[in-house]
Amino acid sequence: KGRERFTLNNKAYKILVINPGSTSTKIAVYENEHPIAEEFIHHTPNEFKDCADMLAQFDIRLDYVMKMLQTNNIKPESLDAVVGRGGVIKPIESGTYHINTKMKQDLIDNAATIHASALGGLMADKLGEKYGIAAFVVDPVVVDEMEQLAKLSGIPGIERRSIFHALNAKAVVRKCARELGIKYEDGRFVVAHMGGGITVGAHRYGRVIDVNDGLSGEGPFSPERCGTVPLAPVIEMCYSGKFTKEEMLAYLNKNGGMLAYLGTNDMRLVEKYIRHGDDYAALVMDSMAYQVSKEIGAMVAVLEGRLNAIILTGGLAYSHRFTASIKQRVDQIAPVITYPGENELSALNEGALRVLRGQESVKEYS
């Protein structure tokens, strides 16, 4: 069985990576660190119109994976591992996890399937069982390494949660540490992942000891999310009779931030507005950068002012205007290093590789 191959480290490993998003499925096959086949599928709403829920999309997306392998003449039996994004399962430590029965059950649970990432783990499990190969998930969004003093919210019974872009954040810190000539586990970093949601974390000696919960409304406003807002006016909105619970949650998590101000969540379009003299668009962008800078400053305080680098990553890091606005406020604290994009496929592959090569032990979900 492929599940017994973890300790072999003297070969070229072939790994299938599956990363489902709400409107896309990204697939790649790697040989060690090098992609030998890639495909990005963009799904239209019409494609899933007959799917009652996220789980009902499973067969459609898996069919894309199998066609991609067939098109590239890659036999599933030739793979050493398959790795997928994990869903919103219970909080776990960072690492590469074997998809066991308990994880599979939790990936099917309603809480996990609020995001398409759960399908990545489920597809990996299906292929692993069918073809006798190792099946993993790596650093899902629920990675929780926060210290207890960071979890108190001010309201007993409500704890601050660790839900963030763990996969890419961990990957870019490892890359940065290598470039600086140190180990991730020996460094102190602040990482701002800036996409549709924005999360800023304090990485101390290989653990993310504090991070804003971008899903529940903490931190900077983003292209789609409101971020931290004055609480009393929000309570007034909730009891105004104008909004249902679902509408309020959608406004805070999907229809707020830059989208609410400017009618778009596309930074490229906002930059076009600014080039054509739209001062309000400039104000919104600069305010978002200002709030990211404030959150970075908060995490610098968590690290007691001692850090190796500040890292800017995610899709918004492609915007030179946006990153420049952040750098001018924080670059006197530590070197600011930019890694645009999400790099999630390579990060998933690297997590599987570390286990296959014996550099890390595979973890068991319980």
Q: How do residues 201-247 score in pLDDT, each as one tens digit?
A: 999 999 999 999 988 889 999 999 999 999 999 999 999 999 999 99
Higher pLDDT, 5 or 56: 56
Residues counted in the chain? 366
pLDDT at residue 114 is higher than 80: no
- Nearest of 286, 365, 359, 361 to residue 329 by alpha carbon: 286
Q: Which amino acid is at 201?
A: G
Give the pLDDT of residue 10: 63
Token reading at 164: 């963030």
Distance CA 277, CA 62 (A): 46
Q: How do residues 40-66 score in pLDDT, each as one tens digit?
A: 998 887 898 898 888 899 999 999 999
Region 34-44 average pLDDT: 93
CB atoms within 10 A of CB 170: 24
Q: How do residues 60-104 score in pLDDT, each as one tens digit?
A: 999 999 999 999 999 999 999 999 988 888 999 999 999 999 999
Q: How do residues 9-31 score in pLDDT, each as one tens digit?
A: 568 999 999 999 877 899 999 99
Q: How do residues 120-177 score in pLDDT, each as one tens digit?
A: 999 999 999 999 999 999 998 889 999 999 999 999 999 999 988 999 999 999 999 9
Backbone angles phi, psi at 21, to 5 degrees: -120, 180
Mean pLDDT, the chain, as a whole number?
Answer: 93
pLDDT at residue 3 is higher than 50: no
Q: Specify whether the CB–CB gap between 125 and 104 falls below 8 A.
A: yes
- Which residues contact residue 302 at a Cβ distance below 8 angstroms, ignoring those fewer than 6 apart? 150, 202, 209, 210
Region 277-290 average pLDDT: 98
Distance CA 167, CA 143 (A): 9
**Confidence (pTM):** 0.87
pLDDT at residue 4 is higher than 60: no
Residue 34 to residues 82, 227, 235, 346, 347: CA-CA distances in angstroms? Answer: 15, 37, 51, 9, 12
- Give 45-81 as a 3 state SS string: HHHHCCCCCHHHHHHHHHHHHHHHHHHCCCCHHHCCE
pLDDT at residue 316 is higher than 50: yes
- Which residues contact residue 186 at a Cβ distance below 8 angstroms, ignoring those fewer than 6 apart? 177, 205
